[in-house]
Each structure stands twice: as structure tokens, then as C-alpha cells.
Chains A and B, each alone.
Chain A
Amino acid sequence: MDTPETLATRDGWRLLRRVLMEQRRGLIVGVIVGLLWAVGKVSVPQITKLGIDRGSEGNGSLLFWTGLVVAAAVIAGIFTAFRRWVAFRESRWIETRLREQIFDHLLRLHVGYHDRTQTGQLMSRASSDLQQLQAFVVMIPITLSNLAMIVAVVVLLFVSQPYLALFALAPLPLVNVLASRFSRRIHPAVLAVQQEQAQLATVVEESVSGVRVIKGFGAEGVQFAKVSTEADDIQRVSLEAARIRSRFLPALDVLPALGLVAVLGIGGHRVIDGAMTVGDLVKFNAYITMLIWPLRNLAMTVALGQRASVALMRVNEVLSTPSLVVDPESPTRLPAATIDRPVGEVRFRDVVFAYEGSDPVIDGFDLSIPAGHAVALVGATGSGKSTLVRLLTRFHDVKSGAIEIDGVDVRSMSLTDLRSAVGIVFEDTFLFHDPVRDNIAFARPEASDDVVHGAARLAGAHEFITALPEGYDTILGERGYSLSGGQRQRIAIARAIVAEPRVLVLDDATSAVDPSKEHEIREAMTTVMRGRTTIVIAHRPGTIALADTVVLLDGGRAVAVGSHDELLATNDRYRQVLAAWAVRDEDGDDDAPTPSPDSTTAVVESRRAVSRSADGEVV
């Protein structure tokens, strides 16, 4: 029976075969060139021998033999160069193409996959794994021509001195055996070293990006202890690898010497006995020396092949993961807007969703948002607001129930249509290493400057952008100019505005904007939201007030729908989530409704604490 592992390995080999077949023409050229090289290389000791044996008798014909050697040298030189070039071109090309395939596939894989998979893992699929493949492919033409050379040499030696050849060549297969055993042993050790190095890199990376937390708490010791554990681990596995190397590598150096000894011993006595010439002896020596590297290479190539197939297996795992969120077979188009029928209606029908391995987060969510309406989605931390947004744009698919835009199920329209219909401002703002302009015009790169500036103005971003060192051309992103959280959010809002979506979603989009500045942005948002279906996720009453309707999300359902004031007056849970009375209390607004004591104990307590300290400690 096939274990999953052997199956995966077989898939790896299959992918390798396919990849090689695609490149067969180049590889064949490489092999032919390599064979020509082998001819040149093999002929040299033969010519030499003839030179010594006949040249010594001959009169002046030495020049002829020397010329022949030079000619062979030129051939070997040219073809070795050519072989190398072809081998590299083919192998790099395979690597390049596969990397593009991986990237393209990753960009289209469902978000659930990315949630689960570490960036570093995917990066190494597309970099170090492909490098292993490349290292193997580049060896193919080289190895095949080496192989041809080995065969030719062995045949030549056996033809000229079968007895001596037998002894001289006997230690050489050992080189091969040893080299392949070495590669097998060293591979896990090398992997372990890489793994430990990656772990160290993670700790260092965190220590640098989390330096504020570490310094604030004086937690340098914790990180140092982690680093020193990792450094010890690296030292341990590296020394283990060194031990393996020390066992094999000197042996590989020494073994061929045994062949030379055999030649010297047996060959020497034969020369003394007059059974062969000194030239033969020299030739044998030269050939044995010539075989050392190719034999070692051969074994390495076998090992590289094993490694490449493991790497390819991992690559294949990525490439063969189907996206769980794909275009339907025959997509339904969204109805176009007409004067009497505005678009952007959103319906959640009894939606249920759970993250893998967790209980349902969304559990029977029902909501209908008429076209052009603005809805505020309110709920406690972790209640599933952001999850609903992810479902709307099909980052995940619902477990049961349905989400519809203008009457079309999101699963039956094309992803392109869906995602140009929905524009999202995420709670974590991600900006690209591109100019401000390109970041804003992300969804419509062809948008004119007027459109971009207009969107920036609406998002309250134009002013600070023009004050940047290079205005709209300033490069942003992790490695670029760093903006404050509030500024980043405003650029993300502008990005959503340029997309002109039917449905605009703002997930906590003003959380990093200073409250005293928020009202400025709020005005701009009113303009953006006019006539457009909008879902606002917010905690601040000022932002909630932008919406026509408020929906309270609790326990995975829409438990209450109404205006802010209605909910405030009638819903305990809503008051609890917004801590509404506490705010009013502090504003000196005394007509706030009293919360019912049972459901809101925690907050009532906190309110008491607040007033006590306020009374007691103000000077």
C-alpha cells in the first residue's frame, strides 16, 4: 500500500519529469555538447601516451603530438564552457518559470489557506526549494557527459590493460558509494541547520519589530535567553553536520589515491617485467586522476536528485492545492444600475460560518440592506464583525445560508465582478512599496490624477500627502516612508473610494484617527457614503451616527436592528457594548437610561470605580 509520503514523493518525481520534458530540447543540446567535451577530455591521456611512447622513438614528430594535445584542449575548453552555459540556462529557466507559477497560484488561493500558512514557509517554497531543483537540473547535462566519459575511460583502460584496469578501478566505485551515502547522511543535518537558523531569524525579527514592547517591560533578558537557546541549537546541529562531513569528505579525498597505489604497485611490476610501457603507466595515472571528480559528482547528483524531488514535492503541494474559492462555471452577471433601480442591495440569509477547528463564529446571521443604505455593524470584540466582511467578499465561503448582492448569490458571480462590487477598508492597513498615487489608484491603475486627488480629498488625506517630501510620488510600505496609523487608514479609505464599489465596507477604519480629528473625516465620509451601500464597523458613537441603521451582532446573529437612539433606549446588550451610560455620565448627561443590573454587572462596577476615583483624586 502507498503511504501518503511515497505518494507525495511520486507526485514530486512526476512534476520533475514534466518540468524536464518541457525543457527537453535545451537539455538534449546540453548533453550533446557535454559528449563532445568528453571526447576532447578523454583523448588527451591517450594522445599523451602515444606521444611518450612514439614521440620518444620518433624524430621531431613530438610537435605533432603536442599539437594534437592542444587541439584536444581547445575542444574540451570550448565545450566545457558551452556545456556550462546551456546547463545554467535551462536550469535557471525552469526555476524562473516555476517561481512564477507558484506566485500566480498563491495570489489566487483562498484566504483560509494563507491564514494557516506562514509567510516564511511560502517564501522558502518559492526560493530555497526551487534552488534545490535548480542545483539538480544544472547537473543533468554535466552528469550525463561525465557518465559518458567514465564509460569511455573504463572501456579504454580495460582494452589496453584489462588486468591492471581491474585493480586500478576497484577502489573507484567505493568513491561513488561513499559519496552517495554521505549525501544521504548529510541532508537531514543540513536541513536541521537551516531550520535552526530560521528559528533564530524569527526570534531576532520579533525582537527588532517588537522593540517597544521589549524595552518598555525591560524584557531583553527573555529575548536573549531565546536567542542563546537558538544559538546553542545551531552550534549543536552544525557540529553534528561537521562530524558527518569529517567522516566522509577526507575519505573521498583519499580513496582515489588507492587506485594510484594499485597502478603503481601492479603496473610498476608489469613495467619491470616488460609487460607494459612507462607511457601506459603514466596514462593510467592520468585517467585515474581524471575519474575522481566525475565519480564524486555522480554520487552528488543522485543525492541532489533526491533532494530536488523532496523540494519539488513541497512545491507540488502548493501548486496542487485547489483554491476553495473559485469562479462558478457560468457566472451570473450583476444587474446594471438603472434610474429606477439603484444597485448595491446586500442580503445575508441565515449565514453560518466557523473557522477550521473552532465553534461557529457566525450562526444564523440574517440581514437585508437596501441599496444605497448605510448600516453600522456594532458588536463586542471578537464577535465576528470582521469575519462577516470576509464572508461578503468571499475570503471564506459560508458553511450554510447565503449572501447576495442585488439578488445574486456571491458564489454564483465571478470573483472579479464580486470584488469590484465590494470595496473594503481593512482594520489592519496594508500599503504597498509603491508611490502614494499607485497605492490609492490600486484598484484602477489607469485612474487619472484628478480622480486620485479627489479620492484623497474625500478621505481627508490630500493635505498631509501634499506635505510629504515627494507628495503623491512618495514611496510607502514597510521599507518606505512611514506614516502614522491614522494617515495610513486615510490612504486605505481613498483606495476604496477610487474603486467605486457598489458596496463600501469600512472595518474600524477610523480607529487610529485621533478622536479630536475624527469629525473632519466624518464629514468627508458622509459625502462618500451618499447614495452608496455602506457597512461601517465602528465603536465610536460619532461614527455610528453616520449610518441610517444600526445592527447589533451578538452570538453570531443580528440580535437587534434599529436606529442608534432606539437601540440605546431598548437594548441592554447594545448599551453594554457601547458602554453608553458611562460616556454620558462623564459628559454630565444624567438622563441616560439605567442599565438592568443583572446583565451588565461588570460595567456597572466599573462605573462606580470611575466615579469614586474621580471624586477622590482630583486635586
Chain B
Amino acid sequence: MWGMAAISEEDRLDRVQTLRTLRRSYDLARPQRRILHSALTLVLVSTLVTLAGPLLLRYAIDHGIKDGNGRVLNWLIVVYLGITAFGYGVGRLQYLAINRAGEGFLRTLRLTVFERLQRQSMAFFDREKAGVLVSRMTNDIESMGELIQFGLLQFVSAFLLLVLAVIVLFVMSWQLALVALVVLPLLVLASVRFQKQSNRAYLDVREKVGDNLSTLQEGITGVRVIQAYGQQDARSRRFHSTNRALFDSHMHSVKVSTWYFGLVEFAGIAATGAIIGIGGWLVHRDAVSIGTITAFILLLANLFDPVQQLSQLYNTVQSSTAALHKLFLIVDAKPDVDEVEHPTPLPARGAIDVVDVTFSYETADRPALRGVSITVADGERLALVGPTGAGKSTLAKLMARLYDPSMVDGTCGTVSFGGVDLRQSSMSDLRRRIVVVPQEGFCFGGTIRENVRIARPTATDAEVERALASIGALERFADFPEGLDTEVRERGSRLSAGERQLVALARAALVDPAVLVLDEATSNLDPGTEAVVEHALESLMNGRTVIVVAHRLSTVRRADRIAVVDHGELVELGSHDQLVTLGGRYAALASAWEASQPH
């Protein structure tokens, strides 16, 4: 609800920021500029039409009716009808224009923000909360849409109307204008006060709505656990309390606004009364005409509305500019992992060279990798092993440029493919050569087919089926009543845990990169199925460079070389046999693994 817009102190922009944000939006709206300008012109025209009504009435009363001149009266009526029809036409055009400009702008904004969002590095997504990002793209932009539909137009026309009406009032009769202006400052003061109070109240409402919705959502998504432990009553009680808090907050916001609406009503009627009273007296002394009084009464109605609207719109406009500002922050955020202007093409194949790479996550106080150097030959298979938190996944992610190496003492390590520094290549080129397969079974809403195809959007149905068949999962899914077109539902809830993982794995079988980076997750698959999958991946790995973060002895055994990572450093490197003979960390790890196998 746009009327409920509110803005917190820390979000409020200062004048410079506001101007800059508006300027930015204006730039972004370049394609809509012409139509925007005509919309504004139309607003001006229709405001003038609105003002013309009371003035015509005044003239009609004073020069037609009072003088008993029927002809003048008739003429004025014709003019009035003409202006009314004109007003309708202008109103209609103005509406269309402002919406066409606004929706075009919002579309550009949506696409620009999303495009920039996707360009951001993994580090960005580590840093930002998913919920916040989503609400920027949805709620914030939607509320701006409402501003455009209702607010922007009203804001401009209310402002124009206010200024013009005051001028007209003074021109018509300064005495009566002064009378009206006794009430007006009162109304303005009240509106300012109301705007502050209601802002605070609406902020509180918004926060309570947020709490309430998350309790609601948690109750719905967690319903299985809640029922399994028979905690329905406790959760209900908890929801009731956030719900009642929301009710109280709503009522508080009504309470702070109640006096204001009463006052506005009172002021409107009282001002009218005063105009009539004092005006009547002035008429008596022939200081003003009856027509002027009538026009005043109508104009006053035009004055009170804008003041009220402006006070509400003020919040809306402020919070929208703040939202825009935040969106522009996303647009402007330079991706930590960005493309150079003139990328160097990558060779079709080549070795991966990691030279003296150090890397720290932004939120961490110590580096996750320190001075790592390693070369993975074209077609080689390298297994990364080491204890939890050693930095295996981090190293794998750097090799695929999900992150860039950090600067240390002014120097920076490099990761290159076929002799080209990954930072010099384009992202799309890079993803054709190096693909990362996360093994977590994340499913998108949609069918099984669509979920697999995400790995290579151009794949045909037959290729998707072949990918599923290669990991031995085609028959299982084809046997579902709706086959591969089965909707997997939110987060894949229609599937069993293992089936979700199979869908994710089939993605790996669909791609055709030179380098495959696999982060082997611990698995929900039964070992039988897993063996089939491993076999399939085996044929996938043939003839490619493979970097696999290994959690299973069987995977490690099949690697050409094993790199042992510990505390962010590369501590051992060699084949299984070499490392076992060495009797170092790998030897210890391998025997621990073996101990965990059954006997």
C-alpha cells in the first residue's frame, strides 16, 4: 500500500544523494524521456483545466446571473462543457503517457538490476542475505511501480495545483485569500507533524508485518517438524503473539493519524464557513462578488486535497528514492570478479596454472589459501583432499574463477588456463571451458527436464534424456506418471532425497567442457546407484582435465595425482602410492578412511 510508505532514519537520503539518485533515474529513463516530457506537459495542462472550472463559474455568476444576462450565461456553459471534455481527453492521455513511461522505466530497471546482480561474484552472494536481494528486485521495484501509477502524477499535480490555486486566490481577492491562509498554515503544520508521526508508526507497522510474515512462513515450511514433535500449540501461541503485536501496531498508526483526519475535515469546513461568513460581509460592502465566493469555495476544496496528498506522498517519494538508491548501489557495485574490456580468447585446451595464490574470504580473519602453486596438465585428473575447512573447495572455486586471488603486499597470485590469465578472459568464454558441478541437489521449480537442461540450455530433449540415461536414472524418472515432465515442486519436494541428487548429477553429464571441477558432496545415494553414477561420471571425465574435491577413497584412488591441502596450504602432492610410501598426512588420512569402511 503506497499510502503506508515509510522510511527509516538510516535510509533517508540527504539532498545531494536524492538529487543524484533522481538524476540517475532520469538518465536510465532515456528511452522514455520524450513520453515523460509530454506526460509532464499534460499534467500542467490538466491542472490549468482544473483551475479554470471555478473561474468560469465565478464569471458566470458575476457577469451572467447577477447581471441577468442569459446570453453570457449560455456562452459560458458551452465553454465550460468544452473545457470539461478537453479535460477528459487530457486526463486520459496523461494517464497513458505516465504509465507508459513508468512501466518502460521499471522494465529497464528490473533487467538492469538483475543483469548486474548475476554478474556479481560469489563473494557478493556470500555477503548479502538472499532475502534482502530478492526483496530489492521485487518489493522495492513494485512499490516504485505503485508510486508511478498513483503517486508521481499526484505529486506533480498536487504541487502545481497548490501553487497555482494560492496565486489565483490572491488575484481574485486578497482579503479572502488571507482568510483562507489563516487555515492553510495550520493545515500545513499539522500535515508536517502528521507526516513525521505516521512515518514512525508505519515503520513500526512494516517491521511488525515482516516479523509476522516470517513467523507465518516458518510455521508453514516447518510444519512437518512441528507436527512430528507435536508442537502445534506452542507455535500457534507464538504466532498469536506476533500477530497481536501487529494488530497493536496497526491500531497505533491509526491512533496517531486519527486526529489529523479529524482536523483536516474540521479545517475544510471551518475555512468554507469563514469564507462564507466574512465573504458575505465583504459582499455586503461590495468588496467582493458572490461569484468570487463561489469560486473560492470550490478552489479551497482543490487546495485541501493537495496538502493532504503531499504529506502522504512525501513519505512515498522519500522511501522510493531510498529504494532506488539501494538498487543503484547494486547496479554500481563493481563485480569483484569482473570482465576486462578487451578479453583474450582462451585456447580450446590447456593446462591450469595456479601460481602463488593467496585468498581470504571477506568475512574471515585469516586466509583460506596461502601461497598455493600447482599445475594441472591438460587431461590430468587431480584430487584435492584434506581435513574439513582446509581450503579444498576454495582452491577448486578459484580454479574456475568463482573468486579471484587476493592481493598480498601489492602482489597477487594468478590462475591461468592455457597460458591466459583467467582475469583476462571473458566470462562466457571461461564457462565454455571450465564448468563447476556442485553436487548439492538444488532443484529449481519446473519439470525434471528443465532442471537438467539448466546445465546447457541449448540441449535437445534427446540429449537431456541421454544425460539421464548415462547416469542410469532415465528409466526411473520416465516411469513417473508424467515422466520427465513431472513438476518437481518447490525445492524438488516431489522427489526423494536421492532422486534430487540424481537430477543434479545429470546436469554434469550434459555439459561438454575442457575442464570439469567437481566438488564431491557427501551423498544421499545408495551405494549401488552411486556406483552407476560414478561409472557414468568416469566416462564423462575421460579425455578432460578434472579437478575433484574428494571425500571418498574410491574417487581419490582414480586420480592421477593427489594434492593434500591443510590450513590453506598445499602440503603434499603425488600419486596415491607415492604419498602412501611417503607416510605423511595422506597416508594417515587414507588409513582413517579405510578404518571407516566395514569389515
Besides A44-B272, A606-B538, 18 more A-B contacts (Cβ < 8 Å) are: A52-B290, A66-B278, A73-B267, A81-B262, A114-B224, A118-B490, A204-B138, A209-B130, A238-B99, A254-B84, A257-B84, A381-B496, A381-B501, A442-B225, A518-B596, A579-B527, A603-B532, A619-B578
A512 touches B131 (CB 8 A): no
> Which chain B residues lie closer than 8 Å to A99 at the CB level?
216, 243
Q: Which of A13-21, A172-180, A260-268 contacts B (4 or more CB under 8 A)?
A: A260-268
- Chain B, residue nearest A513 (CB): B522
Majority secondary structure, B binding face: helix
> Which chain A residues lie closer than 8 Å to B236 at the CB level?
100, 103-104, 107
Q: Which of B191-199, B294-302, B417-425 contacts A (4 or more CB under 8 A)?
A: B294-302
Nearest first, the 3 closest Cβ-Cβ pairs linking A and B are A218-B431, A69-B273, A250-B91
The distance in angstroms between the C-alpha atoms of A262 and B243, with both chains bound, is 52
B454 touches A516 (CB 8 A): no
**The residue from B114, B262, B454, B599 contacting A219, defined by CB atoms under 8 A apart:** B454
Q: Which of B68-76, B312-320, B367-375 contacts A (4 or more CB under 8 A)?
A: B68-76
The distance in angstroms between the C-alpha atoms of A517 and B522, with both chains bound, is 12
A542 touches B596 (CB 8 A): yes
Q: Which of A3-11, A221-229, A345-353 contacts B (4 or more CB under 8 A)?
A: A221-229
B589 touches A606 (CB 8 A): no
B527 touches A583 (CB 8 A): yes
> Which chain A residues lie closer than 8 Å to B595 at the CB level?
519
The distance in angstroms between the C-alpha atoms of A210 and B69, with both chains bound, is 78
> Which chain B residues lie closer than 8 Å to A358 at the CB level?
480-481
Majority secondary structure, A binding face: helix
The distance in angstroms between the C-alpha atoms of A582 and B532, with both chains bound, is 11
- Chain A, residue nearest B91 (CB): A250
**The residue from A84, A258, A545 contacting B254, defined by CB atoms under 8 A apart:** A84
Residue of A386, A395, A539 with most chain B CB atoms under a 10 A cut-off: A539
B122 CB-CB contact with A under 8 Å: yes
CB proximity of B505 to chain A, nearest CB, Å:
11
- Chain A, residue nearest B450 (CB): A222
The distance in angstroms between the C-alpha atoms of A65 and B430, with both chains bound, is 84
> Which chain B residues lie closer than 8 Å to A227 at the CB level?
110-111, 114
A395 touches B227 (CB 8 A): yes
Interface string of B527-544 (1 = CB under 8 A from A): 111111011001100000
> Which chain A residues lie closer than 8 Å to B445 at the CB level?
202, 206
Give the contact-size bracket for chain B. Answer: 35 or more
- Chain A, residue nearest B209 (CB): A127
> Which chain A residues lie closer than 8 Å to B258 at the CB level?
81-82, 84-85
A409 CB-CB contact with B under 8 Å: no
CB proximity of B469 to chain A, nearest CB, Å:
12
Q: Using a Cβ–Cβ cut-off of 8 Å, how many residues does chain A contribute to the interface with B?
A: 179
The distance in angstroms between the C-alpha atoms of A406 and B578, with both chains bound, is 58
B587 CB-CB contact with A under 8 Å: no
B410 CB-CB contact with A under 8 Å: no
CB proximity of A561 to chain B, nearest CB, Å:
18
- Chain B, residue nearest A220 (CB): B118
B60 touches A583 (CB 8 A): no
A243 CB-CB contact with B under 8 Å: yes
The distance in angstroms between the C-alpha atoms of A579 and B490, with both chains bound, is 32
**The residue from B76, B100, B228, B290 contacting A419, defined by CB atoms under 8 A apart:** B228
> Which chain B residues lie closer than 8 Å to A251 at the CB level?
88
B91 touches A66 (CB 8 A): no
Interface string of A197-225 (1 = CB under 8 A from B): 10011101111111111111111111110
B301 touches A289 (CB 8 A): yes
A426 touches B277 (CB 8 A): no
> Which chain A residues lie closer than 8 Å to B381 at the CB level?
617
Interface string of A432-457 (1 = CB under 8 A from B): 11000000001101000000000000
> Which chain B residues lie closer than 8 Å to A107 at the CB level?
219, 223, 226-227, 232, 235-236
